[in-house]
Amino acid sequence: MTVQVTGIVLAGGKSTRMNFNKALLPCGPVTMLEKIVDELRKSCTQVIIVAGKNEYDFRDCLVIPDIYPDGGPLGGIYAGLRASRTEYNFCMACDMPRFKGELVKILALRAPGYQVVVPQVRGCYEPLLALYHQSCLSVIEEVLKAGQRKITAIYPYLKVNAVTHEEIAEKLGESEYFLNINTPEDWESYRGSSF
Ligand SMILES: Nc1nc2c(ncn2[C@@H]2O[C@H](COP(=O)(O)OP(=O)(O)OP(=O)(O)O)[C@@H](O)[C@H]2O)c(=O)[nH]1
């Protein structure tokens, strides 16, 4: 990997649709959050969990609260970047059980010269599975202060490198690394396939 990367997991959501904290859903013997942190450790120098008001007890991880209450995932990215010591940071949701740490290395190779490196799956950005440079902070702050919560609202102001799913799959193999779980139905379907 050409650049050092901090892994930032956003785990401060309300999990309203699941009606149970998604980070704590069991994936085999561990929770979904533990599974993700283990994968991030394969590629990242440090892992930060932005917990919002939730409480997590993780050794070897920095667990921090949000800075913007009700800032949503964009606010979580902001808090994570503020706490990080590396220029590039891989920010992701806590509800993506098929995530592979190798993805961070694939995106990091494409980072030099860009502020955001984001997978594009079937033409759509995956903004909660992307690299963000520290220099995004001022734009994120402006967008949050303007009351916007959509992560992609920051993209028009930044140098964004979109990496297609096909390019990623060439290196990672065909996997649903971008799958995210929101509802009990999503969870049942995921469990019905495999961990
Ligand atoms: N730190 C932080 N993370 C958040 C916040 N809101 C959402 N997230 C995280 O961002 C990711 C995507 O969140 P969503 O699935 O859109 O929202 P959610 O609140 O978790 O779930 P719903 O209430 O069902 O919409 C998840 O990993 C959440 O834990 C927030 O305000 N702060």
Residue 66 assigned ligand-binding role: yes
DSSP lists the bridge partners of residue 8 as 48, 91
Q: Is the pLDDT of residue 114 over 80?
A: yes
Report the candidate in 82, 89, 100 with the shortest Cα–Cα distance to residue 45: 89
DSSP state of 136: G
pLDDT in tens, 115-144: 999 999 999 999 999 999 999 999 999 999
Q: Whose CA is nearest to atom 13 of ligand 1?
A: 13
Give the ipTM.
0.98
SS3 assignment, position 50: strand
Q: Would you say residue 2 has pLDDT above 80?
A: no
Q: For 51-69, b where at least 16 C-beta lie within 10 A, e where not — what string?
A: bbebebeeeebbbbebbbe
Pocket test for ligand 1, best of 9, 182, 186, 187 (most atoms within 8 A of CB): 182
pLDDT tens-digit readout, 11-47 = 999 999 999 999 999 998 999 999 999 999 999 999 9
Domains and CATH numbers, the chain: 5-193 (3.90.550.10)
